[in-house]
Every structure is written in structure tokens, then in C-alpha cells.
Chains A and B, each alone.
Chain A
Amino acid sequence: MASSAAQIHALGGIGIATYSSSSKSNLNSAKRQAVVNPENTFSSVKRFIGSRMDEVAEESKQVSYRVVKDENENVKLDCPAIGKQFAAEEISAQVLRKLVDDASSFLDEKVTRAVITVPAYFNDSQRRATKDAGRIAGLDVLRIINEPTAASLAYGFERKSNETILVFDLGGGTFDVSVLEVSEGVFQVLSTCGDTHLGGDDFDKRVVDWLASNFKKDEGIDLLKDKQALQRLTEAAEKAKIELSSLTQTNISLPFITATADGPKHIETTLTRTKFRELCSDLLDRCKTPVENSLRDARLKFKDIDEVILVGGSTRIPAVQEVVRKLTGKEPNVTVNPDEVVALGAAVQAGVLAGDVSHIVLLDVTPLSLGTNTVGDVRKRCRECTTSTRNLRGSERAEVLQVQRRNETLRTDSVMSKIIPRNTTLPTSKSKVFTTVDDGQTRVRFHVLQGEREFARDNKCLGSFLLDGIPPAPRGVPKIDVKFDIDANGILSATATDRATGNKQEITITGSTTLSKDEVEKMVKEAERFAKDDKQKREAIDTKNQADSVVYQTEKQLKEFGEKIPGEVKEKIESKLQELEDKIGSGSTQEIKDSMAALNQVMQIGQSMCNQAGPEAGAGAGPSPWR
């Protein structure tokens, strides 16, 4: 048990750090690669996961690779180098697999289970897509948890005091705000809010646009159309942004950014902190709304907040810190490492789930409301309908009766009726009573919707199901109970029951909307095969290296002790050695291994003879020729 927990800890720790923030070790080589090979280097994939093309139109223009859509309007990432279109899940899976391998070799144990964090404001589809990515990487994903909540876990883990904290999490691509109450080991999320399209990448983009527009003004060339130049601009912009966190101005130098008939062109300019703030002023403004909304939802005032915790690399930007300071009237807490705190929190939660950490519980919420489509509240929209809440008895009195159309597809005028409001603590079950809108209506299609928008079609549709066989009755008479349930693992299920007949239909939302179960299965298999290929390749290299050193050792020993063994044996050794050398040049991994074993055998014979010939000589040979 202890070892399995350790595995999860490590993965939580390492996994999230690289997965969520885009900095650190192996990404540096990827960034170099990005300049040389922009179309085949993927970055900020998190922005596309579990999304449809129309939801990420803006983002898709900002990346160096080509974002395309498949026949179902889902996002695919084009990789011309191998002529394949990848789902964002597959790319994320590659990242996860690399992290798992690193964690496994660090722990010297196989890592099989993981806790993965996502932005709190991710919708259900994005969460499930992330889970799919984990599965494609061969992981059992124990839980998907929210990044700001994870950060609060790490922050409050060692503290026992009663505090209300606000987590301000501005990462590379997303922005989250969560308000929590931490007391007696209970981490209770009061509210969460965010913007899944705001992050450090947007700040970089502002600098890129500024550089490009200046260049266009001076030279008349649009650098944004040149993928390689764009990649270099982006890299320089990010570097400048980071430097401006400690300096008040920085130089941007991009020699040979492009060339014309007159010769090479260069960029050589200075960016000041003030100018940078001016370029990003609307982004800084956009940080304010989620903070205000999350406090409103938590029914708190700024004075009720004890600590403001900054998470995510972009909170290092002085202008961002200033926004927080001005808005909350508090000095933000910068004691936690903004890049690592989320991963540490994931590790704590992994410990809780593995049973290693007790007396800690995380009460998280659903960030977005869940509901179904309806023509609206009977009392408001269908006064002619005979039903009203007044005619119902007892506990039903509090329920709001909604009316439901039979339509197969979502009508443009249908509105969303919320069943589980946002910021409801999980797990939860909630239900509402619905009725029909037409006389004699026998069937109703329920769409499971997520979002805060008034009209059904503006929200994310997670799935739908049909309730059939309702006995014909005047409109408004049938009563259909619709129950939504989210369990501790975040699995959402919806049930509709016709009270008259007891007829029941249900749907469990298990997959994301972007990949079907079959597709995920296929990708799991494919990834396993690739992993196998990779393993074989690695084995081949390892074997070859080993064989090379065997050859070297044998030659060395033959030189030293060759005279002490009979010519016959020596010849045998020499022929086997030659054989091994040939195999290293052209043979398969197995053949190399076999030759090595054969050589080993004759070497042992030679060694024993050598030992018989004279103990002083044998002692020098050592126990095995190639140790």
C-alpha cells in the first residue's frame, strides 16, 4: 500500500508541474525544436483538449502548428511530418507518458495510477478528455482535481488555523479564481470562477503583435505570416516578459528575422515595463471580473478574505500582482512556489485517495451549472397551462415545474433550466419536475447541458436521451422527475422518470464529447504499440552499447592474459569475438544477445584455464571479464 501511494505521490508531483505550466527542462529542447520545425511542434495543447473547433477559433490562429477540424467539428492537430492528424488527447498522453517514465525511473517502480489536475473552470468535456489522455498514456486516473483547489491543499496542509483564502491562479493558458474556507482539515471550496481563454500566452501574444506591427511599419513586411519568424518572435516575447518581472526594461534582439532583396533584416528594440503593462492593460482588466464574481458567489466581501495566494507562473508579472493588490486591498501571499504548488496539492489528494493521508478532506464544487433544455418556467411562459406549483402538495411545493418540448434537436428558443447550480458541493443529487408543452405529447428529449447562458444552445451539450411512452394527456399534466447526480469521481448521470407509468430513462456521461469510446480504445492500443516500439528501440540501443563494451573488455583481456591460455581456446574466443563484432554491425538485438552469451561461455572456459595456469594471473582477471 505504501509503495503504491508513493507512486501516485510522485506522479502527482512531477506530472502536474510540467503538464500545467509550460516551462522547465524537456520543454526547453521542444522550444528550440519549435523554431526549426514550427508545424510539427505542439504547444499549449491544453487549450484545445475536449473542445470543438468553434470554441477555440481564436486560439487556433495563435499557434505555430495547424489546427484543423474533423467531420464532427472536433479539434485535430495536424502533423505534416508523419502525415497524421492527432487529437489533443493523444499529444497530452505523450506528455503524460514521458512524465510517468521519468517518475518510474526515479522511483525504480512502475507508476500506474495518477491524480491529474485541470483548470477549475474546465467543463465536463474538457475534464473527460484529460482523463482519456491519461488512459491513452496507460494510466488509471484516480481523480481529476481543480488546480486552485490543489494549490490550497498544498498551502493549508500543514496549517490548522481557520482561514478564508482566495486562490488566484494565472497559468500559461487559463485563469482560475477559487475562494475556500480551510478549517479543521476540511478544505471547503465556496466558489470558483475563471476564464479558460486567458493566460501567459496571451501576454506573449501582445508583445509579438507589438513587435510585428512595428516591423511592418518600418519595413512593410508582415512577420506574422512567416511561421518560423512568428515562432522566434513568440520565444523572444516570452523571454522579454519573464525578464520584465525582475527588470524595468529589457532588450529584444532578433537578428536575421527575415530577408528582402536589400539583404537581411533584424529586430533590435527595447521594451519597458510600463509599455508592457500598457500593451496588456485589457488582459489585466479581464483578471478582475472572475475575482469579483467568485466573491459574490461565496457571499463574501474582500475584508472577509484572510489570505490571497498566487499560483501559476504568470502571477510573477508585477502588473498582475498589482491588480491583485489593488482589487483585494491585501498583500498577496507569495510564499508558495507558483509552479510547484499545484503538483504538491495533487500529491496530497493522491495520498488521501490511497488512504495514506487521513483527517483531510477536500470539498470541491461543480464550477458550471448543469441542467436541461426547456421552453421555460410554467408560471412565466405558459399561463394557460393548468399546472402551477400551488396545486402540488408537500415537498413538491418548492419544486419549479418546467415544460419540455419533444424536439429531437435543440431549438434556438429553448432555454436552459438549471438543476445543479454552479458552486454546488460534490457529490450531489438534485432533481426538478418537468411537464409537457403540447397536448398528447408522448415523448421528450432531454439534453444534458453545462454552462451559465440563458439559451440552451449557447451552453455545452454533454449528451441527450429520450423519454418515450408518456401516456397522452393535456399539456402540463404529465409529471416527469429529472434527477442529476454527480458522484465523488465526477461521473454525471441524469435520470428522467414519468410519474404516471414509472417509465425511466437515464444517461451516464462517461466519455468526452470529442472522442468516442472506440476511438479512445484505439488510441490506447496505438499508444501501447508505440510504447512497445520505443521500448524495443531502447533495448536495441542498450544491447548494442553493452556488446561494444564486451568487445572492448574481451580484447583488453586477450591482450593481457592471451599467453596464459591454450591456442585452441584463444582461437575460439577470437572467432566468437569476431562474430559478435559482425552482429553489432548488422544483426538483430536477439542475435547480438546470443553472440554475447556465446562469447561469455568461451571466455569463462578461458578464464578458468587462466586461473589454473597461475593464481596470481587469475586474480587480476577478476570474477567476470566484463564487470
Chain B
Amino acid sequence: EDEDEESYSSRNSWRSNFQFGSVLSDPIEASHRETLGLSSWAPLTLEDVKHAYRACALKWHPDDSTKAEAEAKFKFCNVAYESLIKKL
């Protein structure tokens, strides 16, 4: 049941990109895209997701960043990346 719903929503989100412009029907995907700094309407490609994730890693990985919130931010990026990559 869960799986059906997931694939349905991801199919739908694709369609809605084009039907309604900028609004994604899947709020989780929308927030994941936002986390990685990806456009909320463009079609998802493997290259784009990877590139965005790398940029985030260079910016937020605690080894490279001295900012206090870096670790938490990077963990969000990880979650977003894992989730988006599964859809591809």
C-alpha cells in the first residue's frame, strides 16, 4: 500500500510540475529539493542531484566549515540526497 502511494505521488509530482508550474505535489520532495538548493520545478536528473549534493558537502561538511550549525545542515543534506537519489 505504502509503495503504491509513493510511486503514485512521484509520478504525479512530475506531471504537476508541468501542469501547475512551480508547485510540487509532494511536500517532502519539495523540501528536499530546497535543502540541496535545487529548483522546485525542473525535472530531476541524477547529474543535477549529485552536483548539488557535492556543492552542499563542500559548504556544510563539518571538516570544512567552522559554522556551528554545519553538522546539522549536512545531515539534512544527506537525508535529502538519499531520498532524491532513490527516485531516480
Contact with A along B32-75 (1 / 0, CB 8 A): 00000000000000000011001101100111100000010011
Taking a contact as CB atoms under 8 Å apart, the answer to whether B2 and A184 are in contact is no
A104 touches B (CB below 8 Å):
no
- Residue pair A488, B62 in contact (C-beta under 8 Å): yes
Task: Report which of A183, A188, A358, A398 forms a contact with B64, defined as CB distance below 8 A.
Answer: A358
Contacts of A361 in B (CB 8 A): 57-58, 61, 63-64
Interface string of A511-551 (1 = CB under 8 A from B): 00000000000000000000000000000000000000000
**Interface: B10 (CB within 8 A):** no
- Asked if B75 and A359 make an inter-chain contact with CB atoms under 8 angstroms apart, the answer reads no
Give CA–CA (A566, B27) in the complex, Å: 102
CA distance A238 to B23 in the complex (A): 67
Whether A425 contacts B78 by the Cβ 8 Å rule is yes
Q: Complex: how many Å from CA A361 to CA B63?
A: 7
Cβ-closest chain B residue relative to A357: B64
Closest Cβ–Cβ distance, residue A88 to chain B (whole Å): 29
Q: Is A224 in contact with chain B by the CB < 8 A criterion?
A: no
Q: From A186, which residue of chain B is reached at the shortest CB distance?
A: B54
Contact of B51 among A184, A188, A425 (CB under 8 A): A184
The answer to whether B75 and A427 touch across the interface, beta carbons within 8 angstroms, is: yes
- Look across to chain B and name the residue whose beta carbon is closest to the beta carbon of A397: B2
User: Chain B contact residues (Cβ within 8 angstroms of A): what range?
Assistant: 10 to 19
In the assembled complex, which residues on chain A have CB atoms less than 8 Å from the CB atom of B58?
184-186, 359, 361
B2 → chain A closest CB, angstroms: 7
* A397-B2, A398-B2, A427-B71 known; A186-B63 Cβ under 8 A: no
Contact indicator B61/A363 (Cβ below 8 Å): yes
Question: What 0/1 pattern do residues 417 to 435 of A give for CB contact below 8 A with B?
Answer: 0000000110111000000
Which residue in chain A gives the minimum CB-CB distance to B47? A162
- Shortest Cβ distance from residue B53 to the other chain A in the assembled complex, whole angstroms: 8
Is residue A221 within 8 Å, beta carbon to beta carbon, of the partner chain?
Answer: no
The SS class assigned to the B binding surface is helix
Residue of B nearest to A162 (CB): B50
Across the two chains, which residue of chain B brings its CB closest to A362?
B63
Inter-chain contact A352/B64, CB cutoff 8 Å: yes
Bound CA–CA A362/B74 (angstroms)? 13
A222 CB-CB contact with B under 8 Å: no
| Contact with A488, one of B2, B50, B54, B63 (Cβ below 8 angstroms) | B63
Number of A-B contacts (CB under 8 A): 45
Pick the most buried of A352, A359, A360, A425: most chain B CB atoms within 10 A of its CB.
Answer: A425
Say if the beta carbon of A591 comes within 8 Å of chain B.
Answer: no
A window 483-512: CB within 8 A of B: 487-488
Q: Which residues of A contact B64 (CB under 8 A)?
A: 352, 358, 360-361
B88 to chain A, nearest CB (A): 11
Cβ–Cβ < 8 Å partners of B78 in chain A: 424-425, 428
Q: Are B57 and A186 in contact (CB under 8 A)?
A: yes
A183, B71: Cβ atoms under 8 Å?
Answer: no
Chain B nearest CB: distance from A333 CB in Å? 23
State how many angstroms separate the Cβ of A7 from the closest Cβ of chain B. 18
With CB as the reference atom, state the residue of chain B lying closest to A363.
B57
Alpha-carbon gap, A488 to B57, bound state (A): 13
A353 beta carbon closer than 8 Å to chain B: yes
Q: Residues of A contacting B63 with CB < 8 Å? A: 352-353, 361-362, 488
Chain A: minimal CB distance from B83 (Å)? 11
Nearest-neighbour CB distance to chain A for B9, whole angstroms, equals: 13
Contacts of B51 in A (CB 8 A): 184
- With both beta carbons as reference points, the residue of chain A lying nearest to B61 in the complex is identified as A361
Say yes or no: A429 contacts B61, CB within 8 Å.
no
Q: Given A362-B63, A398-B2, check contact A428 B75 (CB 8 Å).
A: yes
Shortest distance in angstroms between A484's beta carbon and chain B's nearest beta carbon? 12
- Roughly how many angstroms separate A296 CA and B58 CA in the complex, as a whole number? 27
B41 smallest CB distance to A (angstroms): 24
In the assembled complex, the Cα of A359 lies from the Cα of B63 at a distance in Å of 11
Complex: A359 Cα to B64 Cα, angstroms: 8
Residue of B nearest to A185 (CB): B58
Q: How far is the CA of A425 from the CA of B75 in the complex (A)?
A: 9
Complex Cα distance, B77 from A361, in Å, reads: 14
A353 to B50, CA, bound (A): 24
- Nearest-neighbour CB distance to chain A for B65, whole angstroms, equals 9
Chain A minimum-CB-distance residue to B74: A427
**Residue ID in chain A nearest B66 by CB atoms:** A355
Judging by beta carbons under 8 Å apart, are B71 and A487 in contact?
Answer: yes
**Nearest Cβ on chain B to A428's Cβ, whole angstroms:** 6
Contacts of A424 in B (CB 8 A): 78
Please give the distance in Å from B73's CB to the nearest CB on chain A. Answer: 11
Inter-chain CA distance A362–B51, complex, in Å, is 15
Partner of A184, one of B54, B74, B75: B54
Q: Report the minimum CB–CB distance from A222 to chain B (whole Å).
A: 53
Q: Which of A188, A353, A424 has the most CB of B within 10 A?
A: A188
User: What residue in chain B is nearest A358 (Cβ atoms)?
Assistant: B64
Interchain nearest-CB distance for A203 vs B (Å)? 36
**Is there an interface contact between A183 and B50, defined as CB atoms closer than 8 Å?**
yes
Which of B50, B57, B62, B75 has a CB less than 8 Å from the CB of A429? B75
Complex Cα distance A360/B2, Å?
39
Contact with B along A455-483 (1 / 0, CB 8 A): 00000000000000000000000000000
Given contacts A359-B58, A397-B2, 19 further A-B contacts (CB under 8 A): A184-B58, A185-B58, A186-B57, A188-B54, A358-B64, A360-B64, A361-B63, A361-B64, A362-B63, A363-B57, A363-B61, A398-B2, A427-B74, A428-B75, A428-B78, A429-B75, A487-B71, A488-B61, A488-B62
| 4 nearest A-B pairs in the assembled complex, by CB-CB distance | A488-B62, A186-B54, A361-B61, A184-B54
10 contacts between A and B (CB under 8 A): A184-B54, A188-B57, A352-B63, A358-B64, A362-B63, A397-B2, A424-B78, A427-B74, A428-B75, A487-B62
Interface set of B (CB-CB < 8 Å, partner A): 2, 50-51, 54-55, 57-58, 61-64, 71, 74-75, 78
- A residues within 8 Å of B by Cβ? 181, 183-186, 188, 352-353, 358-363, 397-398, 424-425, 427-429, 487-488
